[in-house]
Amino acid sequence: MRVVVRNGTGREMVDLLLEDVARLLPRLQRQSAPVRGTEAAGFDHASARRRKA
């Protein structure tokens, strides 16, 4: 997992992120492999730029 944190992100937001990761970690550890497909699609900056143009 890669997390990019924006400069100026407050401690409250980081705490919320860590709580979410801790809550989901057992589920992620049970997976035998990464989940792929439309339901698991991540954000793609290049695609977002093309849609705006």
The predicted-structure confidence for 6-22, as pLDDT tens digits, reads as follows 999 999 999 999 999 99
Does the pLDDT at position 4 exceed 90?
A: no
User: The pTM is what?
Assistant: 0.55
- Phi-psi bin for 42: left (phi > 0), alpha (psi -120 to 50), beta? beta
Gap between the Cα atoms of 28 and 24, Å rounded: 6
Q: How far apart are CA 51 and CA 2, in angstroms?
A: 24
Model confidence at 35, in pLDDT bands (50, 70, 90)?
Answer: confident
Distance CA 19, CA 7 (A): 20
Whether the CB-CB separation of 14 and 5 falls below 8 Å is answered with yes
